[in-house]
Amino acid sequence: MAYELYYWDGIPGRGEFVRLALEEAGADYVDVARKDTAAMMKIMASRTEQHIPFAPPFLRDGNVLISHVANILFYLGPKLGLAPQDETLRFFANGLQLTITDFLVEAHDTHHPIAVSQYYEEQKDPAKARAASFIDERLPKYLGYFERVLRQNPHGDRHSVGDSLSYVDLSLFQVIEGLLYAFPRAMKRYEEKYPALAALRDAVRERPNIKRYLTSERRLAFNEFGIFRHYPELDRDGS
Amino acid sequence: MAYELYYWDGIPGRGEFVRLALEEAGADYVDVARKDTAAMMKIMASRTEQHIPFAPPFLRDGNVLISHVANILFYLGPKLGLAPQDETLRFFANGLQLTITDFLVEAHDTHHPIAVSQYYEEQKDPAKARAASFIDERLPKYLGYFERVLRQNPHGDRHSVGDSLSYVDLSLFQVIEGLLYAFPRAMKRYEEKYPALAALRDAVRERPNIKRYLTSERRLAFNEFGIFRHYPELDRDGS
């Protein structure tokens, strides 16, 4: 039976991290809410569902309903051949994915530091202050961390965990794509500063299934409704 | 061998969610960084460690080094008898714990909406705006969700997952304690609005191991350095 992915239509957002894993593995899945948002809302509002999710994305696999990107990938990883065989390494992969989760929250909050319920235009001044601290302090801290993770991998710097591609590598690709879209000035010299991450991003982009996916209509373009938004006034040269 | 927990000394913070599980289970553990912060910093700065954590808390169990609260609890839960036997339910528990993670980020950002590197006093105005949206919109959304999870549990509303105590229940206890400390006005009528959550909090507090722990010196008091801070000017009546 096909996996059912549920996520807001129109933005790559958090759903994209799950999509990339499904696409790389050539898994059979339906992106339910891109055609039927009501079906997604119905599950969230259900009074009988035993495992109600707080928010999308969530995944249905038969009787199993799983929410949160890192949790979905922890579950799917072994099934899709995109997680380490070794259990200890799987927990390390999950830790990395959760660091990506934290990073995404911070990237999102550059344009929404005050309230998700308000428009960006209503919080532009605090957004500028938050984006400045994100670019000056947080961006180099996170990217520097992932660069170190790649370099300290005893199996070589081509993968973040173990000796083969995992969902974490796919997620790091998406994070970099998003940052390049949102903050081109801040990211200008990223290949020089984070060579292992840059090589990972290039390698993922060239994988046959990913390459095919990126040019398909299933791939949603970044835009100003999701996590990564290009507001030139929030961008600035990195330190 | 004793588990080694690493977390900032002086605040309950995120480390407390791991401590509560270890204490409830009567596990043998050392709270390393409360006596030796340098040992924690050394692991984070290590150039040879294969599984470097981005930030505390992290846990060492022999050769295994695991970071992030939800990941640590996913790992520890079965070992401590604080996770469901059923694998599907474990993923549901992890989803709930990740919702708690998100909730904690939002609770933290009420006093730090702009930059973690700046003092609260430097971001007081945006903090007031963010706290208002937290109290009016986010707090009822999260607490309402967990109340529903308890009520829709087919095994009854005494536990969030399955038919026995899990680490998620212990974490919900800590979340409510923190909210009562930080936002007493906003939480004034919480027992009336969220009766199942209130009953869960009371039940956890009365568990013998937890009760003993709460009066021990191992339990750190809430204060104005952690996630939950009592700044009266950020508190207000809930809707």
Q: Which residues of B touch A153 (CB under 8 A)?
A: 50
Instruction: Reply yes or no on whether the pLDDT at A238 is more than 90.
Output: no
Q: Which residues of A touch B66 (CB under 8 A)?
A: 91-92, 95
Q: How far apart are the first and last CA of chain A?
A: 49
Residue B62: predicted pLDDT? 95
Per-residue pLDDT averaged across A149-172, rounded? Answer: 97
Average pLDDT over chain B, rounded to whole?
A: 97
Q: For A133-158, write each residue's pLDDT tens digit.
A: 999 999 999 999 999 999 999 999 99
The verdict on B115 touching A (C-beta cutoff 8 Å) is: yes
- Identify whether the C-beta of residue B18 lies closer than 8 Å to the C-beta of residue B82: no
Alpha-carbon span B218 to B107, nearest angstrom:
24
Q: For A72-107, write each residue's pLDDT tens digit.
A: 999 999 999 999 999 999 999 999 999 999 999 999
SS3 B137: helix
The verdict on B37 touching A (C-beta cutoff 8 Å) is: no
Going along chain B from its start, the domains and CATH numbers come out as 3-80 (3.40.30.10), 87-234 (1.20.1050.10)
- C-alpha torsion A204→A205→A208→A209, nearest 10: 80
Q: How far is CA B103 from CA A34, A151, B210, in A?
A: 27, 33, 23
For the sheet containing A58-61, what is the strand order?
A29-31, A3-6, A58-61, A64-67
DSSP assignment, residue A220? P
Q: For B24-56, write each residue's pLDDT tens digit.
A: 999 999 999 999 999 999 999 999 988 999 999
Q: Which residues of A touch B77 (CB under 8 A)?
A: none
Mutate to test the interface with A, among B72, B91, B104, B227 (most CBs of A within 10 A): B91
Q: What is the DSSP string of A17-61?
A: HHHHHHHHTT--EEEGGGT-HHHHHHHHH-SS-SS--SSS-EEEE
Alpha-carbon span B229 to B121, nearest angstrom:
13
Nearest Cα of chain A lies from the Cα of B216 at a distance, in angstroms, of 31
The verdict on A198 touching B (C-beta cutoff 8 Å) is: no
ipTM over 0.85 threshold: yes
Tokens, residue A144 = 């520097």
Task: Give contacts of A 126-145 with B, CB under 8 A.
Answer: 126, 129-130, 133, 137, 142, 145
Instruction: Reply yes or no on whether the pLDDT at B239 is more than 80.
Output: no
User: Of A66, A92, A115, which has the smallest distance from its Cβ to B133's Cβ?
Assistant: A115
Alpha-carbon span A106 to A131, nearest angstrom:
9
Instruction: Reply yes or no on whether the pLDDT at A1 is more than 90.
Output: no
The verdict on A167 touching B (C-beta cutoff 8 Å) is: no
Instruction: Reply yes or no on whether the pLDDT at A130 is more than 90.
Output: yes
Instruction: Reply yes or no on whether the pLDDT at B1 is more than 90.
Output: no
Among chain A residues, CA nearest to B99: A54
CA angle B32, B37, B40 (to 5 degrees): 70
- Cβ atoms within 10 Å of B118's Cβ, excluding its own: 13
Residue ranges in B67-207 assigned as alpha helix (H): 69-80, 87-109, 124-133, 139-152, 167-182, 190-193, 195-205
SS3 B177: helix
B118 φ, ψ to 5°? Answer: -105, 155
Q: What is the DSSP string of A159-191?
A: -SSTTS--HHHHHHHHHHHHHHHH-TTTTTTHH
Q: Which residues of B touch A101 (CB under 8 A)?
A: 98, 101
SS3 B67: strand
Residue B50: predicted pLDDT? 86
The verdict on A102 touching B (C-beta cutoff 8 Å) is: yes
Instruction: Reply yes or no on whether the pLDDT at B231 is more than 80.
Output: yes
